[in-house]
Amino acid sequence: MPIIAGAGLAAGATVDGAPVAGTDEVQTITITGTPTGGTFRLRFGAFTTAAIAYNAAAAAVDSAIEALPGFGSGAVVCAGGALPGTPVTVTFSGPGFGRRPQPLLEVVASALTGGTTPEVAVTETTPGVEETGIGAPRGALLTDTTNGILYINTGTPDNPVWTKVGVQT
């Protein structure tokens, strides 16, 4: 795991190995038991979505999640669906959510009806991997301790781009 010391990285920080670009977390919502009606809610941290219909399209799931405090438009991208026949994937890719691990969405207040014991499940499809130096200001320096390569952040604090500038000797 990278070692990044606070926001004042201009003095230089170190990492064991080359900087990691990070991976967006992907979670999959699946409904089993062929329900014919009802709703469910999802919880992320302390916040719970509005009711989501058993047969919701991916866009409806996206809207419900992005309505949570702190999310906003573009925080997630939902694809697949419509439920219940086809799972919906939730990719955490927006500012503050992309390129880092996320807690698993939790199913709460499931009120599905019909079918045979209908259930909603959320699984982690692709674990999020934290990008090296998220939060590092433009111009921050980073040294790979395994080979002395020096990098500079030519990107932004939320989307660092580590560019090789030399080798420490």
pLDDT tens, residue by residue, 22-33:
899 999 999 999
Q: What is the pLDDT of residue 11?
A: 52
Same domain, 39 and 111: yes
Same domain, 66 and 54: yes
Tokens of 20: 């990691």
Mean per-residue pLDDT, 12-16 = 79
**Cα 118 from Cα 140, distance rounded (Å):** 51
Same domain, 86 and 112: yes
Same domain, 89 and 35: yes
Could you tell me the pLDDT band of residue 3, with boundaries at 50, 70 and 90? very low
Q: What is the pLDDT of residue 6?
A: 41
Q: What is the pLDDT of residue 141?
A: 92
The residue segments making up the domain with residue 73 are: 25-126
Could you tell me the pLDDT band of residue 8, with boundaries at 50, 70 and 90? very low
Same domain, 49 and 80: yes
Same domain, 82 and 98: yes
Q: What is the pLDDT of residue 169?
A: 73
Q: What is the pLDDT of residue 105?
A: 98
pLDDT tens digits, one per residue of 123-146: 999 999 988 888 889 999 999 999
Q: Is 17 a domain residue?
A: yes
Q: Is 47 a domain residue?
A: yes
| pLDDT value at 9 more than 80 | no
| pLDDT value at 90 more than 80 | yes
